[in-house]
Structure 1
Amino acid sequence: MTTPASRRTLLLGAAGAGLALPRIAGAQQYRPEYKMTVVGNRPIPFAEGAFIWADLVTQRSGGRINVKVYPGSQLVGGDQTRELVAMRQGVIDFAVFSTINIAPQVREVGLFQLPFLMPDHKAFDALIRGEVGRDIFAVMERREVVPLAWGENGFREISNSKHAIRTPADMRGLKIRFAAGAIFTEIFQAMGANPVQMSFADLQPALSTGAVDGQENPINLFLAFRMDTLAQKHLTIWNYVNDPLIFGLSRNVWNSFNDADKQLVRDCAEEAGRQQIALTRRGLGLDGGDDAAIQDLRTRGVEVTALTVPQKAEFARVTRPVYDKWAQTVGADLVRKAEAAIRAATA
């Protein structure tokens, strides 16, 4: 029979021998909550990816890793361009980053903003699933971020309240809102448009009052926010850039997890990324499939113009000086590698 005193002696002896207690101590290092940031909120697929990841991690860890999503970039006061900096400062633990928003701090992800680099989803997939994607993840790791999976915000199509856009000349004089990034100013100026940078929160009132004529965003976001009710009656599918998403977390948080939990978090990120990409592409009529999103646009009275390959080539020609200039910023070797991957995937 052991007394309370003898049980305490046994427990202390086990601790001194390095038995059992290290596991308890390791568990005590986990926080009550891990904060995840994402731009926007449900129901857009961008935000859904974050909620899916958080839910998977929380559920599969039995609540040991409790991840809470803070949508609308609220952890950085709504300024989505500060998310990466805030993660490095320890304010944010997990994130689903837009590559557009982190490009000012990570020049290599500016690859995806080179105008008309990626003609279609095959080209996009060749980059994120190949050597280019791995190279960019290696760059992210040098920023104290552990990238685990890719997602997709979608090809950014252009809409406006004035007329259909079929040629670069149709862009002249249009006031077009863009989210962030000096390259977008130069892209739209090259086409004769008047680019206006503003947050998404300011976009809707700007469209409704006519302060800007148009905007560029994925179709799923156009539909979710009913931009057809904001005078956006003309939409052109031109696939000028795509915005990959990166599912990642801070290195300090990653290092605090044991190996099994690291694998759990990675597996959940990869699954969330796959689901998020599927949501983004749903209804776009890819490969002759379901085109419900396109039909929804037309039902709402939106004139949908899908550019032909020669028409896209004309836009690419006009914006080529911007492409060449920013390719040097991104890194000539990385751009050449991306171009080769795209040629192989689309041949």
Structure 2
Amino acid sequence: MVRWGNNQKHSLEETMRHSQAGAASRLARTGAFALLLAAVAAVTSAVPAMAADYKAEYKLSTVVGEAFPWGFGGKRWAELVREKTDGRINVKMYPGAALVGGDQTKEFTALRQGSIDFAVGSTINWSPQVKELNLFALPFLMPDHKAIDALTKGEVGKDLFKLLATKDVVPLAWGENGFREVSNSKHAIRTPADLKGLKIRVVGSPLFVDTMTALGGNPAQMSWADAQPAMATKAVDGQENPLGIFAAAKLHTVSQTNLTLWGYVADPLIFVVNSKVWESWSEADRVAVREAAEQAAVEEIAMARKGLTAEDSSLIDQIKANGVEVVTLTEAEKQPFQEATKDVYAKWKKTVGEDLVNKAEAAISAR
């Protein structure tokens, strides 16, 4: 039997106490580390998907640059998205329909396919792929800005957004390119007879060809990139576009010195995102992108309408100051143009959808 002295006994007890304390300390440290890992995991799972899960850059398509209200809307949206998502979503605007080789009628298809992530697009340019968007190009449907608002801010606008949502995009807000006015290098247009024989550039939409033909003009379909050179060389006599486009593009410098304000159609814009891109974001970032679109749209519409009212005609005055003769048609003077295009309206009402057009007509009447 081994006998322990008091000193040896005390030494052993001391050693055991140190050993137990060390084990407890290691256990505590291990437990704390495990808790720390769990906390980090919890925080990480709660944070929206970060840059590693998102694209480094998202592409936004517009037909024109930031000097135009339309392009301003795209640029502003990109700025607001970056700001509201704290830089997680970085958007770069590509004006001039550069992502589709300058052919704006291909923009919607590219957007659906995913080669474009964002777009501020024209209802006219997208109408070949979405026939219901031809609604806004029915001749003389909308007589004023309140009529546009009655459609885009009402049930018609909601119906069209629901439709677009089935076509691989997420529509977020309505913008505005404006009422399209007609200009030419030859003479003032006051009656349909004044259009006879004039070669007028129009967008690539069959409805515009039908309308201009019914009015006696000679429609020439071409992209906006080709339109200005064509006017400069007199390959075409005229064009039709909102005044914001006319002024910013300085069309008076390419012989467009006769301008008629007839408001025959308007061109709302739509802020959209590719649906797969939309689904890749966190819910918080989706909210931020939607809010950014809505804010940019309000600012863009205000810019598109600036200087075009009886209270503020500054944009029209600026155009006149550049040597352009401006003719403003009265409601009575518009009647012969409406009469000349009534068969076109009836034909395209069936194409667009009679129920949708009837709803639009009722909304405008009730405005």
Q: Which runs of 4+ in 1 moved over 2 A?
A: 5-15, 17-28
- Percent identity over the alignment? 52
Asked if structure 1 preserves the Cα contact closer than 8 Å seen for 2:84 and 2:289, the reply is no
- CA drift of 1:108 comes to 0.8
CA displacement 1:109-147 (0-9 Å, x = unmatched):
110010110011111110100000000000100001110
Mapped pair 1:20 → 2:19: no
**Which one-letter code corresponds to 1:19 in the other structure?**
A
Asked if structure 2 preserves the Cα contact closer than 8 Å seen for 1:14 and 1:21, the reply is no
- CA drift of 1:13 comes to 6.2
Name the counterpart of 1:283: 307
CA displacement 1:230-283 (0-9 Å, x = unmatched):
111110000011110000101111112222211111111011000000111111
Name the counterpart of 2:318: 296
**TM alignment of 1:33-44, pairs within 5 A:** 33-44=57-68
Asked if structure 2 preserves the Cα contact closer than 8 Å seen for 1:234 and 1:303, the reply is yes
- CA drift of 1:318 comes to 0.5
More displaced 10-residue stretch of structure 1: 249-258 or 26-35: 26-35
Name the counterpart of 1:322: 344
Name the counterpart of 2:10: none
CA displacement 1:177-219 (0-9 Å, x = unmatched):
0121011111011011100011111111211111111000111
Name the counterpart of 1:86: 110
- Give the TM-score normalised by structure 1: 0.94
Mapped pair 1:339 → 2:330: no
1:76 & 1:96 partners in 2: Cα distance? 14
1:230 & 1:30 partners in 2: Cα distance? 44
Asked if structure 1 preserves the Cα contact closer than 8 Å seen for 2:48 and 2:284, the reply is no
- CA drift of 1:331 comes to 0.4
Name the counterpart of 1:252: 276
Mapped pair 1:229 → 2:253: yes
Name the counterpart of 1:170: 194
CA displacement 1:61-113 (0-9 Å, x = unmatched):
11011111111111111111111111211111111011111001111111001
Asked if structure 1 preserves the Cα contact closer than 8 Å seen for 2:230 and 2:236, the reply is yes
Mapped pair 1:131 → 2:182: no
Asked if structure 1 preserves the Cα contact closer than 8 Å seen for 2:169 and 2:275, the reply is yes
1:42 & 1:336 partners in 2: Cα distance? 36
Name the counterpart of 2:54: 30
1:247 & 1:24 partners in 2: Cα distance? 27
Mapped pair 1:201 → 2:225: yes
Name the counterpart of 1:263: 287
1:305 & 1:212 partners in 2: Cα distance? 21
**Which one-letter code corresponds to 2:189 in the other structure?**
I
Name the counterpart of 1:305: 327
2:250 & 2:31 partners in 1: Cα distance? 67
1:248 & 1:8 partners in 2: Cα distance? 48
User: Any gaps of 5 or more consecutive residues in structure 1?
Assistant: none
- CA drift of 1:19 comes to 2.7
**Which one-letter code corresponds to 1:145 in the other structure?**
V
More displaced 10-residue stretch of structure 1: 202-211 or 128-137: 202-211
Name the counterpart of 1:142: 166
Q: 2:234 pairs with 197, 200, 210, which one? A: 210
State the secondary structure of the residue aligned to 1:20.
helix
1:232 & 1:168 partners in 2: Cα distance? 18
Name the counterpart of 2:18: none
- Give the TM-score normalised by structure 2: 0.89
State the secondary structure of the residue aligned to 1:43.
coil
